[in-house]
Chains A and B, each alone.
Chain A
Amino acid sequence: EPEVTQTPSHQVTQMGQEVILRCVPISNHLYFYWYRQILGQKVEFLVSFYNNEISEKSEIFDDQFSVERPDGSNFTLKIRSTKLEDSAMYFCASSVHLADKTYEQYFGPGTRLTVT
């Protein structure tokens, strides 16, 4: 069964460093998402991406964040200068998009980012 994959599973970085989190969505999906979950809290939406551009972004997704689909398979989230409060689990998700409707979102296993 097709699945969303994410790398790395765990990333430790120092405050101020840049990190890139990588995702490979399911191959026939057209909508891509990033969510994050701070430890002990609920999952929060960061950004959605469709047709090579951002479809929607949350207040969390400020100028420190960017997303890219560099090729036909990868979808990346970059944090330019990490802060302690960026420590969280980051989930990538993808969904089918047909006739202006999006369907079930499939989540990857997550990347746990620890900023020290």
Chain B
Amino acid sequence: GIQVEQSPPDLILQEGANSTLRCNFSDSVNNLQWFHQNPWGQLINLFYIPSGTKQNGRLSATTVATERYSLLYISSSQTTDSGVYFCAASYTGANSKLTFGKGITLSVRP
């Protein structure tokens, strides 16, 4: 199956700083998603990005499928950005289960 590795495992930032979170995956995938898990445990969809670049406000993501990695960029970080960020990858159709990484714990300090 797909292996998903995220780095770094923990990240501490000062408010206003920028950060890059990395996700490596082991195979050619059809689906790559980024999530933010909030303090209540909910998984918030950030990006569906099997390839290319997308931006949503202060967040952007890039997936280079041929090199099997994805990056999540957070600019001008805020304390509300704190939490765990997961990436997850899958094939499609009958094998469309998402395989999650272990997550990156981000702490943004005021």
Residues on A facing B (Cβ under 8 Å): 31, 33, 35, 37, 42-45, 48, 50, 55-56, 58, 89, 91, 93, 95, 97, 100-107, 109-110, 112
Chain A residues contacting B94 (CB-CB under 8 Å) are: 50, 55-56
Chain A residues contacting B31 (CB-CB under 8 Å) are: 102-105
Chain B residues contacting A44 (CB-CB under 8 Å) are: 100
Contact B42 A43 (CB under 8 A): no
Residues on B facing A (Cβ under 8 Å): 30-31, 33, 35, 40-43, 45, 48, 86, 88, 90, 92-103
Chain A residues contacting B40 (CB-CB under 8 Å) are: 109
Known contacts A43-B86, A105-B33, A107-B35; decide if A100 and B93 are in contact (CB<8 Å). Answer: yes
Contact B42 A109 (CB under 8 A): yes
State the CA gap A33–B102 with chains docked (Å): 19
Chain B minimum-CB-distance residue to A35 = B98
Chain B residues contacting A104 (CB-CB under 8 Å) are: 31, 33, 45, 48
Chain B residues contacting A45 (CB-CB under 8 Å) are: 97-99
